[in-house]
Amino acid sequence: MSAHATAPHILILGGTTEARRLAAELTARGALRVTTSLAGRVTRPGAPQGEVRIGGFGGADGLADWLREHHVDAVVDATHPFAARITANAARAATSASVPLLVLRRPGWLPVEGDRWHPVPSLGAAADALPALGRRVFLTTGRLGLGAFAHLEDLHFVARSVEPPEPPMPTDLEVLLARGPFTVADELRLLRGRRIDVLVTKDSGGEATAAKLTAARELALPVVVVRRPPLPEGVTALPDVAAVVERLSRLEGPARTGLNRP
Ligand code: NAP
């Protein structure tokens, strides 16, 4: 039997920079088996460290079965703050399989002096707010959210996404395919060059895509900020990789043993 077959097994639900960092940090410790799970929607540069599995589990029950079959000792939900379905499934599956669950969520952005933010609860509410704020809109809400703006025929949209979007989407649309991180200089050039009146973003948090907020502030542009969906009841989030590693090292059971092994 390989050393890994007996090592404590950590499942990371991934798809974020933090998930990759956590996988690297945990595999570097050597005494753990680390599997990262990806939804498989976008092509990513390079695989995370450790083992990787790709594709849905088939809901919370499928995930619970996977946890049992693969003898998972702890789950870390390090998915994107707006990936609410997998987060809800992880909470249910961890409870039903009696596996400890930790949630890693980078903190949301906070407005600072000079920001002109319009917080809204959903993409639909963002679309409702737009006609009063401007005609040329920069959308950074991800390619899957473009449908929420498809009915706004009088507005011009510039949408940035990692992969090409698919309908439904606005008719007057320019698509920019790009992957962060972006600099403030990049964002100022884009906002000025496209004569943008208003920006729409989810409150994703993190450094990689925060430059657009600084650029919007410098140009005094309004920003419609879609608030995060709430975490499942009883779930509290840890803000960074260090906090997750620290909490794993305090869990009762095998995950802790693996982390504390010299
Ligand atoms: P979602 O709506 O919460 O999840 C939809 C379904 O996709 C889930 O029910 C699950 O299928 C599957 N899934 C999601 N994440 C998975 C993972 N890490 N491993 C295996 N299956 C997964 O998620 P989403 O918003 O479509 O996001 C998909 C992935 O992209 C997430 O992993 C997330 O971290 C990443 N991402 C999302 C955003 C965003 O804005 N939403 C941005 C950047 C990255 P089953 O029910 O069949 O298990």
CB atoms within 10 A of CB 178: 11
41 confidence band (pLDDT: 50, 70, 90): confident
Average pLDDT over residues 117-129: 98
Yes or no: say if 19 and 34 are a contact pair by the CB < 8 Å rule: no
- Dist. CA 94 → ligand 1 center (Å): 17
Tokens 């608030």 map to which residue? 227
Pocket-forming residues, ligand 1, beta carbon under 6 Å: 13-16, 37-39, 41, 56-59, 62-63, 79-80, 82-86, 89, 142
Residue 39 Cα, ligand 1 centroid: separation in angstroms?
A: 5
Percent of the chain with pLDDT over 70: 94
Q: Give the pLDDT score at 15.
A: 93
Closest ligand 1 atom to 15 CA? 34
Q: Which domains does the chain have, with CATH numbers?
A: 3-107+230-257 (3.40.50.720), 116-226 (3.40.50)
Q: 156-183, pLDDT tens digit by residue?
A: 999 999 899 999 999 999 999 999 899 9
**Helical (H) or strand (E) element with 51:** strand 51-54
State the pTM of this model: 0.92
Whether omega before 168 lies within 30 degrees of 0, making that bond cis, reads yes
pLDDT for residue 4? 56
Q: How far is the CA of 84 from the centre of ligand 1 (A)?
A: 8
Atom number, ligand 1, closest to the C-alpha of residue 85:
3
* Residue nearest atom 13 in ligand 1 by C-alpha distance: 39
**Rama region for 38: left / alpha / beta (φ>0; ψ in -120 to 50; rest):** beta
- Average pLDDT, rounded, for the chain: 93
Q: What is the pLDDT of residue 261?
A: 57
Residue 207: pLDDT over 50: yes
CA distances from 172 to 27, 131, 133, 148, 154 (A): 47, 14, 17, 14, 8
Q: What is the pLDDT confidence band of residue 72, given thresholds at 50, 70 and 90?
A: very high
Say which residue, 219 or 4, is predicted with more confidence.
219
Give the per-residue pLDDT at 6. Answer: 76
Does the structure show a pLDDT above 60 at 225? yes
